[in-house]
Amino acid sequence: MISFPFRRPAQDRSIDALYGMIVAQARSPEFYRGYGVADTVTGRFEMLVLHLALLMRRLRAGQPGVGEVGQRLFDRFCRDMDDNFREMGIGDLGVPKEMRKVAEAYYGRSKVYDAALDRADMPALLEAVGRNVFGASEPPAGARALAAYMRDAAGRLAGADASDLLAGRSPFPDPAAAREPEGMPAP
């Protein structure tokens, strides 16, 4: 069989499509203008981690054909973070330390978000979003909208077809249309 040196395997294209989908969603201007997420490196990182955690939650759900994709997607995220650190001028000796921080941040946030979503514990999700994304001990109004968005996104991802996900077709909701869940405490 003849192999073309610049042709990429279909699974790599799927990973790029998935990663592109979460990056595009995380960069939605509505999060920064309407929700009040800081339009900074940290704010954008938090939104990327939030969307990655939501998608990885879906991939772990076990629908045939998508479970093994999660590790490749996380590897793609790590390569992107590594590239970004280098572009920001962090040297070869500093990148591994920064990557450990990235991994710890991702796993910690993912665990807290998953636990709150699994229990449908909106106050816990609100507190986690307020602390992680907004850096606030008391969640601001934007944290309420973001927690509602996360609940909606998790539901849409859970119902998404694997082939649509692998093709990069986004089931993420429009951030401008997120509604506050009933029973969520007022800010």
Stretch 134-140: mean pLDDT, rounded?
90
122: Cα within 13 Å, side-chain hemisphere: 19
pTM (2 d.p.): 0.87
DSSP percent split of the chain into helix, strand, coil, nearest 5: 65, 0, 35
Q: Which pLDDT belongs to residue 12?
A: 77
More confident: 116 or 167: 116
Domain range list for the chain: 10-176
Task: Give buried/exposed letters for 67-99 (b at 16+ CB in 10 A, else e).
Answer: eebbebbbebbeeebbeebeeeebeeeeeeebe
Dihedral sign computed on CA atoms, order 53, 84, 13, 47: positive
Mean pLDDT calculated for residue range 144-153: 96
